[in-house]
Amino acid sequence: MFLSLLKRYAIPFGVSIALVVFVDILTNGVTKKLLFDSNLYIGMAEHGFALELRISPFVYRFAGPFLAGTIHHFIGLSIYKSFKVIAYVGAISELFGVFLLVRHLTQSEKSAYIGMLSVAFSLYNIKYPLFDVYRPDILVYPIILISTWLAFKDYFFPLLLTTMIGLQFREFAIVPLLAYLATKLQREGSKTSIRNVTISMIGLFIAVGIPRLLIPVVEHAEAVQLSPQGIAQAIHLISIWPRNINIVYIVLAYFLPFLILFRRSQIRTVLGEIPLEQVSYLAYYSGIVLLLIIVGGTDLERFATYFFLPLAVLTGLLAKNQSFIRILLILTLQIIFNRIWLPFPVWDFDLMVNFYSGWSNVINTASLWRFAELIALAVIGNFLVHFQFSSKQKVFSESGG
């Protein structure tokens, strides 16, 4: 019994901790000139809703900064260390949660570990939050995992409550609830589903609307505002073709392990291993994340991290029957592309933008080379993973055909 629990929970939890520590060792810290939005989160941790900090949407992501401020005031850690503790808790919870959810879906320890590793070696899921510890995303990932588990178990009211709490950290916390409601409406279309949509609208008004009524802002910094002007702003964003190209690049770059493993003939087979309703959920989840990226701001590469759920599931499923050498090859190519071993070039903003590329609507020589590198690694990796040496073909060729 003890050994079974150790294998099921303690070992993957230990691996999660080890991965976070390993990535942290390879990661430098952000400098003041690159803090940008993080200055507002630091300010909220220190001064709460001070007038000059009331800039939308940042002020409505108050839960993370307030949590860091609480740690700072009651435990005595510095603001930086308080945020760093949160970053560690979020990163470890994310990796451990990915392991548990992928194992639940695939019934495979191997798939769960592969899914965990594919998320750990994404540049912006673990490494970037350890670089800029003040960003709120790191706590939203585990909230999304909890919400997804509740959605799979059909626990509507706990899912709605978790979403309402998550929205005080970041807007992407809404994705699991919307994916759940869309899946239920598509597959059932019942009065219960319609009732749940109505109740969700009330809950979302409380979670989103009331903070905006109670906390007036002095400035709006959203790319698309939650207002009548939002439609025109969204249309304008969609018309910026360099940004659209970067969105394509960012999505493909994030799914590099999946591209290396991809075989059209295998997709339907592996998806058949999980319930159809959960496949629909993952499809809606991915579509909603893509929509939020399209209408989001400049940090497209960070927004793409919310694809971590389909990335982990698809990579885990497709790699389940691959050999250790091939799995090692996939992860090595991902590490190479994501520059996991390199420090962020904090000394120059342009180098920071070019480090991963795909930022906002910036397309330059560096980003074109990155796109070329992505295609090359995907093609070469896919060939090496799927290439089979056939002894019959070898004998046939040696005999002169």
**CA–CA separation, 112 vs 121, rounded Å?**
14
**CA–CA separation, 179 vs 172, rounded Å?**
12
Specify the 3-state DSSP secondary structure of 176. helix
pLDDT, position 7: 78
pLDDT by residue for the chain (401 residues), tens digit each?
A: 777 777 789 999 999 999 999 999 999 999 988 898 999 999 999 999 999 999 999 999 999 999 999 999 999 999 999 999 999 999 999 999 999 999 999 999 999 999 999 999 999 999 999 999 999 999 999 999 999 999 999 999 999 999 999 999 999 999 999 999 999 999 887 888 899 999 999 999 999 999 999 999 999 999 888 777 888 888 989 999 999 999 999 999 999 999 999 998 899 899 999 999 999 999 999 999 999 999 998 999 999 999 999 999 999 999 999 999 999 999 999 999 999 999 999 999 999 999 999 999 999 999 999 999 999 999 999 999 998 754 444 444 444 44
CA 353 to mean position of chain CA atoms: 19
**CA–CA separation, 255 vs 318, rounded Å?**
13
pLDDT, position 338: 98
pLDDT, position 397: 41
pLDDT, position 391: 44
Strand partners, 219: 55
**CA–CA separation, 11 vs 7, rounded Å?**
5
Which residue type is seen at 73? H
- The owner of tokens 């899914």 is 115
Neighbour count for residue 37 (Cβ, 10 Å): 19
Specify the 3-state DSSP secondary structure of 346. coil
pLDDT, position 228: 78
* Total residues belonging to the chain: 401
Residue 141 sits at the vertex; the CA angle it makes with 140 and 143, to the nearest 5 degrees, is: 60
Q: What tokens appear for 74 in the block?
A: 């009651």
**CA–CA separation, 334 vs 107, rounded Å?**
25
pLDDT, position 227: 77
**pTM, two decimal places:** 0.94
Residue 168 sits at the vertex; the CA angle it makes with 165 and 172, to the nearest 5 degrees, is: 90
Q: Which helix (H) or strand (E) holds 231?
A: helix 230-238
**CA–CA separation, 297 vs 293, rounded Å?**
8
Q: Any idea where the domains of the chain sit in the sequence?
A: 10-215+226-387
| Alpha carbon separation from 359 to 245, 304, 350, 351, 352 (Å, rounded) | 11, 11, 11, 12, 10
Residue 142 sits at the vertex; the CA angle it makes with 139 and 147, to the nearest 5 degrees, is: 120
